[in-house]
Structure 1
Amino acid sequence: MSNTQTPAQKPVVALTLGDAAGIGPELIARLLAQPGITEGANIVLVGDAWLWQQGQAIAKQTVATQVVTSLAEVRGRADTRLPAFLATDTVQAAQVQRSQAQAACGAAVLTVLNRCMDGAKRGEVDAICFAPLNKQAMKLGGLKHEDELHHFAEYLGVTGYFCEFNTLGDLWTARVSSHIPLKDAAAMLSKERIMDATRLIYASLKASGNHSPKVAVAAFNPHGGDGGVCGREEIDIIEPAVAQLRASGIPVDGPFPADTIFLKAQAGQYQAIVTMYHDQGQIAIKLLGFSKGVTVQGGLPVPITTPAHGTAYDIAGQGVADVNATLNAYKIACRMGQAALAR
């Protein structure tokens, strides 16, 4: 997509700087310094001016922007070759101790993300890509939910099924349960949740540009339950869900033992994997490409993406953070934002 197109043809993608004590600001500076970065979207950066300047200094990048005073101005810009910048006032430099989880930083993240979601509700933003945040800081700063996804869903009025997707290149994963104690994972298994997760990742992959994805479903127990000897969840719950999904026309197979399912995906047999709990998929995805992975917030009315890694407090401020995952998250936001704009 070229910048000769009108702004209305390009999705408005809101970028945020993430946790002020982490690597987010420098990552966004490095992202926006990439050649041709505005070709896929009408970008608006939302964040505190001092933090944006600090991020550029750490990354040793200078990025020109066009200042706007509201999200409503962004879509109508005559020239989108420069990112728009909407300055906020959410946290002061004196409140931030680098590399530490702090209430002020968490509250600032929530304020900026809420502002972007307000813009999405008004039709001013087509997709959001946020730099890494810290759940502990956000909870200190007022987050009432187990994670940001549940906050997004409540804020946006979602009543249907939603879940996180983790992606690595052409491979996407979903999970039936997420940020809960492992002892509670079995209680979260149900035919309905497995079917919801599979339908959602299948539809989301198609919205991101993959028109014919195939889905694999993981078993819950070791060795896929060994025919019931090592657990009956596969027989009683997972297999019936897969059969009903296949009968409805979704190309899905399984359940496959979790210790071999990613080998099938690596070989190109499947583009999506539905796992039963958090670490079942996260360990594999992060081993395959920690510095490239993306988290997509699935089931929301606006596409929201972020790099799959965290705030990396151990290297914050050193200017060595890898931008690849952030770039991949931005690209997915552009594709999904374009699809949303076309609807």
Structure 2
Amino acid sequence: MTSHTERRPRIAVALGDPAGVGPELAARLLARPATFDNADVVVLADSSELADAATIAGVTPLVSAEPAPVRALLLDDGSYPAEPIPPRVVSAAAGARVMHQLHRALAMARADEIDAILFTPLNKTSLKLAGMDHEDELRWFAHELGYDGPTSELNILEGLVTARVTSHIALSEVAPLITSESVTSIIVLLNEVLKGSGIERPRIGVCALNPHGGENGNFGREEIDEIAPGVAAAVSAGVDAHGPFPSDTIFAAKRHEFDGIVTMYHDQGQIAMKLIGFDRGVTVQGGLPITIATPAHGTAFDIVGQGIANLGATEHAFDLAVAIAARRLNAAASPRPR
């Protein structure tokens, strides 16, 4: 039998929007000894911004500019702007800072220097002001990585994973994008993600779009013309998929029957998941060739500088990124059956 050597995943941590709670959360994460139990960590930040965040958080991050045991390696490229970035407001400067560090992370990923990326919360308006002209960061990541396969933001909480057919678009634009093909592709993507997490035959539920599931066409025909055929096509492809179910029913009464749920638009799943566990939810950029995770909450401008940001979702996001990256590494290193 051929043996192989396992190595620890290498995780890049980016501080998120400098005007929000992201730097504070990163400082707290990097002060947690357990962060380094199963991964090697590099931090993409200026030493002064990390030091300022640590002061707010009241912690001492375990970082060093030189490789050292049980420390994160701080990669300060001296790029922090001379003019301070104002806290608690959206700005092009804040968005540009985020994009700079994410560009660095993606370059490291393309060079096979890291196995996963963890970024703390960012602000989409600041990113738009800085020139990000994609629908959201997921599509920007895909563009930067040259990836044109199916993608979906995955929200993960307590044994349930949700994926979306549409995401960061206006509600008025949703219905035309609900096609049997788009529904099938996201069901199949979610099924593959869940199988990759170790679930041999995932159970997937699919949401309707309209109230009461369209009520037999009385409130819209998307369920009849597009969603149900999309589910049927996924079933024909071997996926254990069911639906469509009204979204209030599937989350209120049926969520424990499924490993994953496909929603039709952003808030349909996000409201439910955040009610289940706001401080524990994680977002993973699903479908990409590298693992990218972030806490599911936002930049929390209202509490910036108070040292009270809850680390729970960031901890879960980091630990999940490590676990997914480790599975990918082990799968790649395992000998193929002859």
TM-score by length of 2: 0.92
User: SS where residue 314 of structure 1 aligns?
Assistant: helix
Out of 222, 233, 257, the position equivalent to 2:246 is 257
The aligned residue for residue 311 of structure 1 is 299
Q: Deviations over 1:290-312 (max 9, x none)?
A: 11111111111101010011111
Could you tell me whether the CA contact under 8 Å between 2:30 and 2:62 is conserved in 1? no
Please tell me whether residue 97 in structure 1 is matched to residue 86 in structure 2. Answer: yes
CA separation of 1:162 and 1:310: change in aligned 2, threshold 3 A: same
| Aligned mates of 2:133, 2:110 — CA distance in 1 | 21
Q: 1:302 to 1:90 in 2, by over 3 A?
A: same
Q: Deviation above 4 Å: which 4+ runs of structure 1?
A: none
Alignment of 1:23 with 2:21, yes or no, is: yes
Structure 1 counterpart of 2:56 = 58
Q: Tell whether 2:98 aligns with 1:109.
A: yes
CA separation of 1:140 and 1:90: change in aligned 2, threshold 3 A: farther
Match of 1:131 in 2: 120
The equivalent position to 1:147 in structure 2, one of 123, 127, 136, is 136
- Aligned residue number for residue 279 of structure 1: 267
Offset, 1:211: 4.1
| Alpha-carbon distance in structure 2 between the residues aligned to 1:258 and 1:306 | 25
Tell me, in whole angstroms, the C-alpha distance in 1 between the residues paired with 2:96 and 2:153.
Answer: 22
Aligned-residue offset at 1:319? 0.2
Quote the Cα distance in structure 1 between the aligned partners of 2:200 and 2:105. Answer: 29
Q: Deviations over 1:111-166 (max 9, x none)?
A: 10011011111111110010111111111112121211111010000111111111
User: Of 181, 191, 202, which aligns to 2:191?
Assistant: 202
Where structure 1 has 5 or more consecutive residues not aligned to the other structure, the ranges are 1-5, 69-76
Distance 1:169 1:46 in 2: 29
Q: Could you tell me how far apart the structure 2 residues matched to 1:119 and 1:80 are? A: 21
SS of the residue 1:125 aligns to: coil
CA contact (8 A) 1:121 1:156 kept: yes
Give me the CA root mean square deviation: 1.6
Contact 2:36/2:71, CA 8 A, preserved across alignment: yes
Contact 2:33 2:70 in 1 (8 A): no
Q: 1:150 to 1:80 in 2, by over 3 A?
A: farther
Counterparts of 2:199 and 2:88, CA distance in 1? 38
In the TM superposition, residue 209 of structure 1 has moved relative to its aligned partner by 4.1
- Measure how far apart 1:88 and its partner are: 2.9
Given the superposition, is the C-alpha separation of residues 108 and 206 from structure 1 closer, same or farther in structure 2, using an over 3 Å criterion? same
CA distance in 2, matches of 1:80, 1:182: 49
Question: Does the CA-based 8 Å contact 2:62-2:70 persist in structure 1?
Answer: no
How far off its partner does 1:265 sit?
Answer: 4.7
CA displacement at 1:190 relative to structure 2: 0.8
SS at 1:173's partner residue?
Answer: strand
- Which of 185, 205, 208 in structure 2 is aligned with 1:219? 208
Identity of aligned residues (%): 45
> Any gaps of 5 or more consecutive residues in structure 2?
333-338
Match in the other structure for 1:231? 220
Q: Distance in 1 between matches of 2:254 and 2:31?
A: 33
> In 1, Cα distance between the equivalents of 2:77 and 2:304?
22
Equivalent in the alignment of 1:74: none
Q: Structure 2: which amino acid aligns with 1:188? A: L
User: Across the two proteins, how many residue pairs are aligned to each other?
Assistant: 327
**Most deviating of 83-92 and 194-203:** 83-92
Identify the match of residue 311 of structure 2 among 323, 332, 338. Answer: 323
**Hey, what's the Cα distance between the residues in 2 that align with 1:64 and 1:222?**
50
Q: Matches of 2:155 and 2:289 in 1, distance apart?
A: 18
Partner residue of 1:44?
A: 42
Q: Distance in 2 between matches of 1:272 and 1:32?
A: 31
Q: Deviations over 1:1-46 (max 9, x none)?
A: xxxxx8x611111111111111011101111222322112111111
Question: 1:237-248 maps to which residues of 2 (within 5 A)?
Answer: 237-248=226-237
TM-score (norm 1): 0.91
Report the CA distance between 1:253 and its aligned residue: 0.7
Q: CA separation in 2, counterparts of 1:332 and 1:261?
A: 25
CA contact (8 A) 1:264 1:270 kept: no
